[in-house]
Every structure is written in structure tokens, then in C-alpha cells.
Amino acid sequence: MKRIVATITIIFAACACDAPSRAALDGREGAAHPAIPAETRPADARPSNPASPATGGIPSESGPSTGDGTFTPPALTLRVLRVTSRAGGGDAILIADSAADPPRHVLIDAGDDGAAARALRALGVRSLDLLVLTHAHHDHYGGMDEVLDAVPVRAFAFGGQVRTAATYARLLARIEREVPTVLVVDSIRRIRLGPGDDATTLTLLPPLPDHLAEDTDNGERLNDGSLAVRIERAGFSFLTTGDAERAANARFASAFAPFVDVDVFKVGHHGSTDATQPEWLDAVTPEVAIVSANGTTHPHARVLQLLEARGIPTYCTPQHGTVTIRVARDGRYTVHPEEGQDTRCLPGRSR
């Protein structure tokens, strides 16, 4: 499998931000974006109160009305999907920006159990504007074939990691054939999902370069080659760092400090101790933490204790199912676990 040469386009809308100007078009600009019906699910947009979750998730969602019988739909919805990974771990985060016209959909990682493709179908998502792979582990890319089967994908972004694993090589070859635009995130990239200063913006933070060529099936060092994604709208911000561990965290915190300080943090590496240190939480300062894990090996008890000691409300997909964050136009947000509202996160068996 040849390495895909770095290509980038300004995918959605002109972004008057600080992305490097060395972006180059490869002449494979995506086709015109097909019309996508707006998500019509009702939702509340109350002031931020992450400690008071309401019901929500997939497939059914409901939220209280505004009091006059009408619903206020969220401008931005993030879903940390419950993934039951055979390989351990598992990540898939679905982003729906219904304020954009047409609405935009982004998927960050795809787990490996079909949950991502099922969520796309359940929510009526007809195409993905962007598919992001944080790093080359099966519990993050294993579900991408099913995603590609389910919907057309306009653009794909990854860090450029190389592996000999046959499933990974086949996936990249398929993406190269089927996805119009491929972006290798080798420097900071900012993508605006719609026009206007208040549009949702994705910031892709590049991975540690030393961890991109771990060409073994063991792939232990791939975690620190994870790229990170910050999502922001108005005053709201969210961060996922894939399976980044200590070295990558330290680099993110030093090189990209303004981008890692967020409201809601998808905890790194499924709640492993190698990915969450006190100094890292000092940089991220989350109001809410979400752990995506298989529940058998992860998360680690010490990480849950660390979050609890800081008073950070924490949701874990094994106990809370898909965790949905609804963000209003003004950046106020609410957090909705699919189940287990009265349940605490429980540690897995590994240490």
C-alpha cells in the first residue's frame, strides 16, 4: 500500500482562521454536496447543566419543550456512540451540525462493531462530509468499511500512519478509490462547517511525527500518533485525542494549548492510565468527561478516581450507552446519556 500523498482542500467554507497556507488542492475536489434533510429531532437547549442529564441517545430522543409547545432544535449535536469492540476499546463520535445549510455530518473514528453505520442509518444520515481516523488501530477504523457501504463520504482525514495490517491497507486503498478528498493532517487544520462567524469549527491537531511509521501488527506506538480534534461552536468546545498517551498529550498541551482547553473532553485511550495524567487534565480543564470503552478491560479505576477527585461529571459508554451532547446556537449545552442516569462509571479489569 503506497502512502497517500498529503492533499487538502478547504472542504466546506472559507475559513478566516490561522490554518497554514501551504494547503494544496490535488484536483480531486468533492462533488457538489447533496441535499440532506435537517435532523428534526426535538431537543432542549437549556443552560449548561452537565450534572443534570436528561434522557436521550439512539434511536429515540426527546427533550422538553420551550414552554410554548415548540421545541428548540440544537444547532450542533455530538454523539459519543457506544461501541462494543472485539479488539478492546472502541471509539466513534458522530457530529451533526443542523445550523449549517445544508446540514453537515462528520464522523470521528468508526469503532469496529457496526455501531457507527447503524447510527447513521438510525438517524437518517445520507452522507458524511468528513470522516476522520485518529490513528491506525482496528477499534477505531474497523467499522469504516461498513460506513463506506452505508453512505457516500466526501472527505477523509487521517495522520498518515502506515501499517502492514491487511485490513488497514485495504481500507486506505478503498478510501483512495472512493473518497474524493483525502487530507493528511501534518499540521494544524481548521475547517468551518458553514458560513458566518458563529459556524461550528473543527480544528485538527497533527500527531507526533515520530509515531506515524510503526509498521508492525503489534502497533504499540501507534497510540501516540493519534491526531486530535477540537470542535467548537459559540462558547462551546469539545476535544477528542483518540488513544494519545503521555508523550502526545504533553505535545498537544505545549504546542496547541489554546485548542485543548475545552468544556467537554472525550477521555483519551478509553480511560487508560497511560492517557490521563493530572497535568493533562490541568491543560484540558473539562467541565464534563466522557469515556468510550468496552467495559471489560477499560476504563481504569485510577482515571475514574482522578476525574471524581476533581469533581468532573463523567459518563462512560458501558454504563451510560451513547452519550449525546446538544449545543444551542449560543453555545449552551446539555449532556444526555442514553441510559443509566443514576449509574456511576465502573472500571474495567485491566490496570
Closest CA to 230 of 187, 261, 196, 269: 261
When the beta carbons of 232 and 243 are compared against Zn ion, the nearer one is 243
H helix count then E strand count, the chain: 9, 15
When the beta carbons of 140 and 336 are compared against Zn ion, the nearer one is 140
What's the closest the beta carbon of residue 75 comes to Zn ion, in angstroms? 30
Contact 201, 75 (CB under 8 A): no
Q: Which stretch binds Zn ion (CB under 5 A): 81-89, 99-107, 251-259, 273-281?
A: 81-89
- Report the residue from 89, 142, 225, 318 that binds Zn ion according to the rule CB under 5 A: 89
Mapped onto helix, strand or coil, the DSSP state of residue 215 is coil
Residues numbered 265 to 324 that lie near Zn ion (CB under 5 A) are none
Residues numbered 210 to 249 that lie near Zn ion (CB under 5 A) are 243
For Zn ion, which residue has the nearest CB? Answer: 89
Mapped onto helix, strand or coil, the DSSP state of residue 191 is strand
Which element (helix H / strand E) includes 240?
Answer: strand 236-240
Cell of 64: 422538553
Contact 334, 53 (CB under 8 A): yes
When the beta carbons of 251 and 270 are compared against Zn ion, the nearer one is 270
What's the closest the beta carbon of residue 139 comes to Zn ion, in angstroms? 4
Q: Which stretch binds Zn ion (CB under 5 A): 57-65, 93-101, 132-140, 145-153?
A: 132-140
When the beta carbons of 199 and 345 are compared against Zn ion, the nearer one is 345
Is the peptide bond preceding residue 102 cis, with omega within 30 degrees of 0?
A: yes
Q: How many Cα atoms are found within 13 Å in the side-chain-facing hemisphere of 284? A: 31
What's the closest the beta carbon of residue 152 comes to Zn ion, in angstroms? 26
When the beta carbons of 89 and 321 are compared against Zn ion, the nearer one is 89
C-alpha 99 chain-centroid distance: 19
Cell of 348: 474495567
- Report the residue from 61, 109, 129, 139 that binds Zn ion according to the rule CB under 5 A: 139
When the beta carbons of 42 and 88 are compared against Zn ion, the nearer one is 88
Closest CA to 293 of 117, 165, 140, 163: 140
Contact 227, 135 (CB under 8 A): yes
What's the closest the beta carbon of residue 218 comes to Zn ion, in angstroms? 14
Q: Which stretch binds Zn ion (CB under 5 A): 121-129, 139-147, 167-175, 201-209?
A: 139-147
What's the closest the beta carbon of residue 32 comes to Zn ion, in angstroms? 35
Contact 135, 243 (CB under 8 A): yes
What's the closest the beta carbon of residue 231 comes to Zn ion, in angstroms? 19
What's the closest the beta carbon of residue 293 comes to Zn ion, in angstroms? 9
Q: Cell match 491506525: residue?
A: 136
When the beta carbons of 237 and 294 are compared against Zn ion, the nearer one is 294
When the beta carbons of 145 and 243 are compared against Zn ion, the nearer one is 243
The interface mask with Zn ion, positions 92-121, x = CB under 5 A, is ------------------------------
Q: Cell match 468499511: residue?
A: 145
Taken as a whole, the chain contains a residue count of: 351
Q: Which stretch binds Zn ion (CB under 5 A): 43-51, 135-143, 177-185, 260-268?
A: 135-143
Contact 120, 94 (CB under 8 A): yes
Number of residues near Zn ion (by CB under 5 A) = 3
When the beta carbons of 134 and 314 are compared against Zn ion, the nearer one is 134
User: Cα dihedral sign for 118, 147, 266, 47?
Assistant: negative
Cell of 261: 482547553
Q: Which stretch binds Zn ion (CB under 5 A): 39-47, 50-58, 83-91, 118-126?
A: 83-91
Q: Which residues bind Zn ion (CB under 5 A)?
A: 89, 139, 243
